[in-house]
């Protein structure tokens, strides 16, 4: 068998070796040779309707499985359209590889048709990027890209491939090893530090586990659960860490931060030890940093040394992979349990009582109305149908916060949302990726009426591939989160947040050939959601919710997280 093949074929060979079973992409001029090689190729190509959504779908694929998602786009506008998805993946440490076409090597730099400096543009949008100028470098580069994307702190990697490199013929020899001498991955963690951490954890009177997306990226949920049970510590999971510890676990408190629960934020503020696992002390979690966890010593475990000490200087840093560090930490904890385990038992019991008390004082409870559908009611109903088992892909805004507060996740990789970048338009395309990766799963795309309209073209993709995604539009007629801030901080001067002219969804879904429905009364909600879930195909449910509902608790920007606004200000009583 001759191994002389085109660059495009070589690329596909490398993708197969990386275990890629599907690509999300959009063809164009310079990727023609690649798409020609894809013709009748076993790797499945999913044609999205906009390149940004190819990147988001690849993210949905990666977030729901942990496997590297792949997207591809043509040069120029194709590549620039990927940018938001790349940054999104960078912010949330999601492994994706983007393949972009580039104009032929001899045309690079000549302002050729559909030329953009993709390599330059995406430098700061990726963990690393490559421009392949010679077909001989292609196999090595592709494998390096996948290794970089998925190892260490995961992230997006882009490979820019000129048209003539796709076309060039070369002898393909499978790569047997790759070498990135400057790429350092710290996995094991310092043994002495791990032991000291275990001691600190037994010595603490008010320990709190603060678990983030790193738990999910590392696949260390089981290890986290063991740790939490060993020391019986209350645990908060960040927006990115939801599902890292099952929401039904008795030690799970809830989400902390700007829209976190009262109990979680109070626990953060009063803890004497924060066990920070795979988190980055994001401003949306910490609020005013100088007032954050003021009484706590901090143990920070993270795979990225640059995150340790970036925002909060830890008392005990451990740089390593949680999957490797947590078992060692658990072993050290178990070993010390006999001698140290009972020393603060009564303080710890008090600590738990205090936390239960905070939970009861201001629970994250859905609110109901007899006349209108409260958004919290909607989330509670989705939660009921999911039972902690469905994949929930959220867009960005109020609905995202309510979903995070009220929907339970019994496993990691069920809650899929754009955390760090907060990209509107993420929900629907990420659901496409997730449904492809997990055809066995019930997938909800919870979107606002704003973000939904940013991802409208993908309705065609959903129908095209028969994806049974349940699209739930939480429709309040506003860009709700912006409206909330305008109401609270800009004297309710509602500027450019009204979303009039929302389409009739029965007709919209009908135009694409699937079912849609609008509901606005609370009584309709449970049966309508049940009908959506029963429907074998996709379903578009437009839920008109009370338009002026705000997300609470809320920590105003710059506030300390214990200074939460818990409920809307009481209306002033008018004189009689």
Partner 1 sequence: MLQVISLLLENKPGALMRVTGLLSARGYNIESLTVARTLDPELSRMTIVVDVEPNLRKQVIKQMNKLVNVLQATDLTDASAVCRDMVLLRVRAPQENRTAILKEAEIFSARVVESSLEGFAIEATGDPEKLDEFIAVMRSYGEIEVTRSGMVAMSLENRKLRLSPPIPKGDEAVYSHIRNGVLNG
| Nearest approach, Cβ of residue 306 and partner 1 (Å) | 4
Question: Residues with Cβ < 8 Å from 453, sequence gap 6 or more?
Answer: 499, 502
Residues 71, 457: Cα–Cα separation, whole Å: 17
DSSP-assigned letter for residue 115: -
Closest CB to partner 1 among residues 181, 536: 181
Q: Are 335 and 191 in contact (CB under 8 A)?
A: no
Closest CB to partner 1 among residues 311, 546: 311
| Nearest approach, Cβ of residue 294 and partner 1 (Å) | 19
Closest CB to partner 1 among residues 309, 327: 309
Buried b or exposed e, range 198-231, using 16+ CB within 10 angstroms: bebbbebebbbbbbbbbbbbbebbebbbbbbebb
| Nearest approach, Cβ of residue 465 and partner 1 (Å) | 11
DSSP-assigned letter for residue 39: T
Strands 297-302, 316-319: parallel, antiparallel or unpaired by DSSP?
parallel
Strands 44-47, 22-25: parallel, antiparallel or unpaired by DSSP?
parallel
Determine the angle formed by the axes of helices 51-65 and 77-92, rounding to 10 degrees.
30
Closest CB to partner 1 among residues 290, 371: 290
| Nearest approach, Cβ of residue 362 and partner 1 (Å) | 36
Residues 391, 414: Cα–Cα separation, whole Å: 4
Residues 275, 15: Cα–Cα separation, whole Å: 39
Residues 266, 256: Cα–Cα separation, whole Å: 9
Listing DSSP states for 517-537 in one string gives EEE-SGGGHHHHHHHHHHSSS
Rounded to 5 degrees, what angle do the CA atoms 511, 514, 519 make?
95
Residues 231, 183: Cα–Cα separation, whole Å: 35
| Nearest approach, Cβ of residue 123 and partner 1 (Å) | 6
Closest CB to partner 1 among residues 137, 487: 137
| Beta strand extents in 231-384 (DSSP E only) | 235-237, 252-254, 273-277, 297-302, 316-319
| Nearest approach, Cβ of residue 274 and partner 1 (Å) | 20
Determine the angle formed by the axes of helices 7-17 and 138-150, rounding to 10 degrees.
30
Closest CB to partner 1 among residues 138, 437: 437
Residues 166, 161: Cα–Cα separation, whole Å: 7
Sign of the CA dihedral 403, 407, 408, 411? Answer: negative
The sheet carrying 207-211 orders its strands as 252-254, 235-237, 207-211, 273-277, 297-302, 316-319
| Nearest approach, Cβ of residue 164 and partner 1 (Å) | 17
Sign of the CA dihedral 265, 271, 273, 275? Answer: negative
| Nearest approach, Cβ of residue 344 and partner 1 (Å) | 34
Determine the angle formed by the axes of helices 398-406 and 480-489, rounding to 10 degrees.
100
299 backbone φψ class: left, alpha, beta (φ>0; ψ -120 to 50): beta
Closest CB to partner 1 among residues 438, 515: 438
What kind and span of H or E run contains 217? helix 213-218
| Nearest approach, Cβ of residue 88 and partner 1 (Å) | 17
Closest CB to partner 1 among residues 5, 201: 5
The set of catalytic residues is: 51, 113-114, 163, 481
List of residues contacting partner 1 (CB under 8 A): 16-22, 42-44, 119-120, 123-124, 127-129, 131, 143, 147-148, 174-185, 304-306, 309-310, 437, 439
| Beta strand extents in 185-278 (DSSP E only) | 207-211, 235-237, 252-254, 273-277
Closest CB to partner 1 among residues 304, 563: 304
Q: Which two tokens stand for residue 566?
A: 């818990």
Closest CB to partner 1 among residues 71, 545: 71
């Amino acid at each position: 068998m001759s191994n002389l093949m085109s660059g495009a074929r070589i690329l596909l060979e490398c993708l197969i070796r990386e275990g890629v079973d599907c690509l999300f992409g959009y063809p164009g001029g310079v990727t023609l040779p690649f798409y020609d090689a894809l013709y009748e190729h076993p790797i499945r190509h999913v044609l999205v309707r906009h390149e940004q959504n190819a990147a988001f779908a690849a993210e949905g694929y990666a977030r729901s499985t942990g496997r590297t998602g792949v997207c591809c786009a043509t040069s120029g506008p194709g590549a620039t359209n990927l940018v938001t998805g790349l940054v999104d993946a960078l912010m949330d440490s999601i492994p994706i590889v983007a393949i972009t076409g580039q104009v032929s090597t001899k045309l690079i730099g000549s302002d050729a048709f559909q030329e953009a400096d993709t390599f330059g543009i995406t430098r700061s949008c990726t963990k690393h990027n490559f421009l392949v100028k010679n077909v001989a470098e292609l196999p090595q580069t592709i494998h390096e890209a996948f290794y970089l994307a998925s190892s260490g702190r995961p992230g997006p990697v882009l490979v820019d491939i000129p048209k003539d490199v796709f076309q060039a013929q070369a002898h393909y020899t499978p790569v047997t090893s790759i070498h990135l001498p400057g790429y350092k991955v710290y996995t094991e963690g310092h043994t002495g530090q791990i032991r000291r951490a275990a001691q600190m954890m037994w010595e603490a009177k008010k320990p709190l586990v603060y678990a983030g997306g790193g738990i999910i990226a590392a696949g260390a949920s089981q290890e986290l659960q063991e740790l939490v049970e060993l020391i019986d510590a209350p645990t908060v999971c960040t927006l990115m860490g939801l599902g890292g510890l099952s929401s039904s676990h008795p030690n799970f408190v809830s989400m902390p931060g700007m829209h976190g629960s009262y109990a979680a934020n109070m626990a953060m503020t009063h803890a004497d030890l924060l066990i920070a696992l795979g988190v980055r002390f994001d401003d949306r979690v910490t609020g005013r940093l100088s007032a954050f966890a003021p009484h706590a010593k901090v143990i920070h475990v993270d795979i990225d040394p640059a995150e340790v000490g970036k925002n909060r200087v830890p008392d005990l840093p451990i740089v390593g992979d949680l999957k490797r560090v947590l078992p060692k930490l658990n072993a050290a904890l178990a070993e010390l349990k006999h001698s140290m385990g009972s020393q603060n038992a009564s303080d710890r019991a008090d600590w738990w009582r205090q936390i239960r008390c905070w939970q009861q004082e201001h629970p994250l409870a859905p609110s109901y109305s007899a006349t209108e559908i409260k958004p919290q009611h909607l989330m509670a109903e989705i939660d009921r149908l999911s039972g902690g088992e469905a994949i929930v892909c959220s867009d960005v805004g109020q609905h995202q916060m309510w979903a995070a507060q009220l929907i339970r996740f019994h496993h990691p990789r069920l809650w899929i949302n754009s955390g760090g970048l907060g990209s509107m338009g993420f929900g629907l395309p990420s659901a496409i990726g997730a449904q492809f990766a997990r055809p066995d799963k019930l997938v909800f795309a919870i979107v606002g009426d704003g973000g939904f309209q940013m991802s409208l073209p993908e309705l065609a993709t959903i129908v095209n591939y028969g994806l049974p995604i349940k699209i739930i539009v939480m429709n309040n007629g506003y860009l709700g989160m912006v409206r909330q801030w305008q109401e609270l901080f800009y004297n309710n001067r509602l500027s450019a947040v009204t979303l009039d002219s929302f389409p009739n969804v029965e007709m919209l879904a009908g135009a694409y050939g699937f079912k849609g429905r609008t509901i606005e009364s609370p009584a309709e909600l449970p049966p309508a959601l049940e009908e959506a879930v029963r429907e074998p195909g996709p379903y578009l449910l437009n839920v008109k919710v009370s338009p002026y509902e705000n997300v609470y608790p809320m920590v105003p920007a710059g506030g300390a997280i214990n200074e939460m606004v818990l409920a809307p200000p009481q209306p002033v009583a008018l004189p009689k």
